[in-house]
Structure 1
Amino acid sequence: MAKISRGRCRLRYLLARAKTSQAELSRRTGYSRQQISNWVNNREMMSYDAAATVAYALNCQMEDLYELMVLH
């Protein structure tokens, strides 16, 4: 059976699509601007709770936040 894993974060694209800055997302979610930057630049992966909060703030699905990779 194939396993699905998270790839690169798509937050940069989603912020541009929503015409929202990292600073604005920080204000909406309560996460620091540095934390948002870490996710955008793929230095860290979001926790489940963080992904749910960010998805809600950007009006998207949690699955939209990362490229999905199928591992065989």
Structure 2
Amino acid sequence: MLPRLQAQEKLAAIDVALLASGGFGQRDAQAMLGGLRRQANGVEHMPKVRASSAQLGMIGIGVRIVPPPQEAANG
């Protein structure tokens, strides 16, 4: 795990050097800085998770699946 962490840190250092020297385009630089600011502030994108009926049942939430309403027969 340590070599992986070291590689990530080296890549981050390279990105910082390129960012500081103007090696990235303006959009890329702004996106990188925005990502770093979000990480620094602890605001990271959380994946949307959808609980299953079984998971909700385990915490005491009942789930009832209601069939969609059927349209009245034309005739």
Point out the structure with the larger strand share.
Answer: 1
More relative contact order, 1 or 2 (CA 8 Å, 6+ apart): 1
TM-score by structure 1 length? Answer: 0.23
Q: Which has the larger radius of gyration?
A: 2
TM-score by structure 2 length? Answer: 0.23
